[in-house]
Amino acid sequence: MPALEKTKATLRIHGDDLIPDEVSRLLGAAPTGARTRGEVLIGKATGHRRVARTGMWSLQALDRSPGDLDAQIHDIFARLNSDPAVWAQLQSRFEMNVFCGLFMGGSNEGETISAANLRLLGERGIELQLDIYAPDPGEVTSGDQ
Protein backbone atom coordinates (compact mmCIF):
# COMPACT_ATOMS: atom_id res chain seq x y z
CA MET A 1 0.00 0.00 0.00
CA PRO A 2 1.53 3.34 -1.00
CA ALA A 3 2.00 6.16 1.52
CA LEU A 4 -0.45 9.02 1.71
CA GLU A 5 0.37 11.97 -0.50
CA LYS A 6 0.54 14.37 2.47
CA THR A 7 -0.19 14.40 6.21
CA LYS A 8 -0.69 17.19 8.75
CA ALA A 9 -0.80 16.81 12.53
CA THR A 10 -1.54 19.22 15.38
CA LEU A 11 -1.84 18.66 19.11
CA ARG A 12 -4.81 20.72 20.31
CA ILE A 13 -5.73 21.48 23.92
CA HIS A 14 -9.06 23.26 24.56
CA GLY A 15 -10.83 24.63 27.61
CA ASP A 16 -12.81 27.63 28.80
CA ASP A 17 -10.28 28.50 31.51
CA LEU A 18 -7.19 27.64 29.45
CA ILE A 19 -4.37 30.15 29.78
CA PRO A 20 -1.85 29.51 26.97
CA ASP A 21 1.17 30.68 29.01
CA GLU A 22 0.29 28.17 31.76
CA VAL A 23 0.09 25.29 29.27
CA SER A 24 3.38 26.38 27.68
CA ARG A 25 5.03 26.40 31.10
CA LEU A 26 3.68 22.93 31.97
CA LEU A 27 4.67 21.40 28.63
CA GLY A 28 7.97 23.26 28.25
CA ALA A 29 7.23 24.48 24.73
CA ALA A 30 5.77 27.47 22.95
CA PRO A 31 2.62 26.84 20.90
CA THR A 32 2.24 27.37 17.18
CA GLY A 33 -1.26 28.68 17.92
CA ALA A 34 -3.00 29.97 21.06
CA ARG A 35 -5.94 32.01 22.27
CA THR A 36 -7.92 32.71 25.43
CA ARG A 37 -11.68 32.64 25.83
CA GLY A 38 -13.16 36.02 24.89
CA GLU A 39 -10.19 37.05 22.76
CA VAL A 40 -11.12 38.90 19.58
CA LEU A 41 -9.84 36.98 16.56
CA ILE A 42 -9.48 38.54 13.12
CA GLY A 43 -9.57 36.33 10.03
CA LYS A 44 -6.34 36.59 8.03
CA ALA A 45 -8.01 36.34 4.63
CA THR A 46 -11.36 38.00 5.34
CA GLY A 47 -10.64 40.42 8.18
CA HIS A 48 -13.84 39.09 9.79
CA ARG A 49 -13.85 39.58 13.57
CA ARG A 50 -15.11 36.96 16.00
CA VAL A 51 -14.78 36.21 19.71
CA ALA A 52 -13.08 32.98 20.81
CA ARG A 53 -15.65 30.80 22.60
CA THR A 54 -12.95 28.81 24.40
CA GLY A 55 -9.24 28.87 25.12
CA MET A 56 -6.88 26.87 22.92
CA TRP A 57 -3.21 25.87 22.81
CA SER A 58 -1.87 24.01 19.77
CA LEU A 59 1.42 22.65 18.49
CA GLN A 60 1.66 21.76 14.82
CA ALA A 61 4.19 19.39 13.27
CA LEU A 62 5.75 20.20 9.92
CA ASP A 63 3.63 18.88 7.05
CA ARG A 64 4.97 15.70 5.47
CA SER A 65 4.88 14.83 1.78
CA PRO A 66 4.83 11.91 1.25
CA GLY A 67 2.83 11.45 4.41
CA ASP A 68 4.33 10.17 7.65
CA LEU A 69 1.82 10.73 10.43
CA ASP A 70 3.68 8.45 12.84
CA ALA A 71 6.82 10.60 12.56
CA GLN A 72 4.77 13.79 13.02
CA ILE A 73 3.20 12.48 16.24
CA HIS A 74 6.65 11.52 17.49
CA ASP A 75 8.03 14.96 16.55
CA ILE A 76 5.28 16.78 18.46
CA PHE A 77 5.68 14.81 21.69
CA ALA A 78 9.49 14.78 21.57
CA ARG A 79 9.29 18.57 22.10
CA LEU A 80 7.05 18.31 25.19
CA ASN A 81 7.37 17.44 28.86
CA SER A 82 6.78 13.69 29.31
CA ASP A 83 5.92 13.81 33.04
CA PRO A 84 2.71 11.75 33.55
CA ALA A 85 1.61 14.11 36.36
CA VAL A 86 1.63 17.07 33.97
CA TRP A 87 -0.47 15.19 31.43
CA ALA A 88 -2.88 14.00 34.14
CA GLN A 89 -3.35 17.60 35.25
CA LEU A 90 -4.02 18.73 31.67
CA GLN A 91 -6.38 15.80 31.03
CA SER A 92 -8.40 16.61 34.16
CA ARG A 93 -8.96 20.21 33.06
CA PHE A 94 -9.05 20.27 29.27
CA GLU A 95 -10.05 18.42 26.12
CA MET A 96 -7.07 17.19 24.12
CA ASN A 97 -6.66 15.68 20.67
CA VAL A 98 -4.20 15.21 17.87
CA PHE A 99 -6.01 16.50 14.81
CA CYS A 100 -4.70 15.00 11.57
CA GLY A 101 -5.29 15.77 7.91
CA LEU A 102 -4.70 12.79 5.63
CA PHE A 103 -4.49 13.76 1.96
CA MET A 104 -4.76 11.01 -0.62
CA GLY A 105 -3.26 11.33 -4.08
CA GLY A 106 -4.72 8.03 -5.34
CA SER A 107 -7.44 5.54 -4.61
CA ASN A 108 -5.47 3.21 -2.31
CA GLU A 109 -3.11 4.87 0.14
CA GLY A 110 -2.60 4.26 3.82
CA GLU A 111 -0.81 5.12 7.01
CA THR A 112 0.45 3.20 10.03
CA ILE A 113 0.63 4.50 13.59
CA SER A 114 3.14 2.66 15.78
CA ALA A 115 2.11 0.90 18.99
CA ALA A 116 4.47 3.24 20.87
CA ASN A 117 2.64 6.35 19.60
CA LEU A 118 -0.79 4.80 20.21
CA ARG A 119 0.28 4.00 23.78
CA LEU A 120 1.66 7.55 24.23
CA LEU A 121 -1.66 9.07 23.17
CA GLY A 122 -3.68 6.64 25.29
CA GLU A 123 -1.59 7.21 28.42
CA ARG A 124 -2.13 10.94 28.10
CA GLY A 125 -5.88 10.66 27.36
CA ILE A 126 -5.49 12.23 23.92
CA GLU A 127 -7.95 11.43 21.14
CA LEU A 128 -6.73 10.87 17.60
CA GLN A 129 -8.95 12.72 15.12
CA LEU A 130 -8.56 11.96 11.42
CA ASP A 131 -9.85 14.05 8.52
CA ILE A 132 -9.39 12.09 5.30
CA TYR A 133 -9.35 13.92 1.98
CA ALA A 134 -9.92 11.93 -1.21
CA PRO A 135 -7.94 12.78 -4.33
CA ASP A 136 -9.38 15.34 -6.70
CA PRO A 137 -11.15 13.26 -9.40
CA GLY A 138 -9.88 15.68 -12.04
CA GLU A 139 -6.26 14.96 -11.20
CA VAL A 140 -4.46 11.81 -12.28
CA THR A 141 -1.49 10.69 -10.20
CA SER A 142 1.22 8.26 -11.18
CA GLY A 143 -0.31 5.55 -8.97
CA ASP A 144 -3.64 5.74 -10.83
CA GLN A 145 -2.30 5.36 -14.37
Spatial distance between the Cα atoms of 144 and 33, rounded to a whole number of angstroms? 37
Helices in the chain by DSSP H: which ranges?
A: 20-27, 69-78, 84-93, 115-123
Per-residue pLDDT tens digits of the chain, which is 145 residues long: 788 999 999 999 999 999 999 999 999 999 999 989 988 888 888 888 988 899 999 999 999 999 999 999 999 999 999 999 999 999 999 999 999 999 999 888 889 999 999 999 999 999 999 999 998 776 655 444 4
Separation of CA 3 from chain center: 19
Contact present, 118 and 25 (Cβ < 8 Å)? no
Domain assignments of the chain as residue spans, ordered by start = 6-144
**Phi–psi pair at 90, nearest 5 degrees:** -65, -45
